[in-house]
Amino acid sequence: MAILVTGGAGFIGSNFVLDWLAQSDELIVNLDKLTYAGNLDNLAGLEADARHIFVKGDIGDRKLVAKLLSEHNPRAVINFAAESHVDRSIHGPAEFIQTNVVSTFTLLEEVRTYWANLAESEKTAFRFLHVSTDEVYGSLEKDEPAFREENQYRPNSPYSASKAASDHLVRCYHHTYGLPVLTTNCSNNYGPFHFPEKLIPLCILNALSLKPLPIYGDGQQIRDWLYVRDHCSAIRRVLDAGKLGETYNVGGWNEKANLDVVRTLCAILDELYPRADGQSYATQIAFVKDRPGHDRRYAIDAGKLERELGWKPVETFETGIRKTVQWYLEHQDWVQNVTSGAYQHWVGKQYGS
Cα 16 to Cα 19, 20, 63, 116, 148: the distances in Å are 5, 6, 26, 27, 24
Question: Could you say whether residue 43 binds ligand NAD (CB under 6 A)?
Answer: no
Partner that binds at residue 38, options ligand NAD, ligand DAU, none, CB closer than 5 to 8 Å by kind: ligand NAD
Catalytic residue among 83, 134, 295, 301: 134
Closest CB 124 distance from ligand DAU, rounded Å: 31
Max CA distance (Å), the chain: 68
Element (H, E) at 309: helix 303-309
Of the candidates 86, 146, 179, 204, which one interacts with ligand DAU according to CB under 6 A? 86
Q: Are 157 and 184 in contact (CB under 8 A)?
A: no
Helix, strand, or coil (residue 52):
strand
What one-letter code names the amino acid at 311? W
Task: Quote the CA–CA distance of 32 and 59 in Å, as a whole number.
Answer: 8
**Taking the CB of residue 235, how many other CB atoms lie within 10 A of it?**
25
Which residues are registered as beta bridge partners of 129?
Answer: 78, 182
Name the catalytic one among 114, 159, 173, 281.
159
* 308 annotated active-site: no
Does residue 63 sit in helix, strand or coil? helix
Residue 186 Cβ vs ligand NAD, minimum distance, rounded to whole Å? 4
Q: Is 38 in the site for ligand NAD (CB under 6 A)?
A: yes
Binding piece for ligand NAD, criterion CB under 6 A, among 44-52, 86-94, 129-137, 271-279: 129-137
Q: Which residues pair with 183 in a beta bridge?
A: 130, 247
Write the interaction track for ligand DAU spanning residues 245-264; mark x where CB under 6 A is met and - where it is not: -------------x------
Least distance in Å: CB of 99 to ligand NAD? 4
Is 295 annotated in the active site?
A: no
CB closer to ligand DAU, 121 vs 353: 353
Minimum Å gap between C-beta 98 and ligand NAD is 8
Q: Active site includes 255?
A: no
| Helix/strand/coil for 149 | coil
Is residue 214 within 8 A of residue 283, CB to CB? The reply is: no
216 lies in the site for ligand DAU, by CB under 6 A: yes
H or E, element range at 340: none
Catalog residues that contact ligand NAD under the rule CB under 6 A: 6-7, 9-13, 31-35, 37-38, 58-60, 80-82, 84, 99, 103, 131-133, 163, 186, 188-189, 195
Catalog residues that contact ligand DAU under the rule CB under 6 A: 84-86, 133-135, 187-188, 198-199, 202, 214-216, 221, 223, 258, 291, 298
Which residues does the annotation mark as catalytic? Answer: 134-135, 159
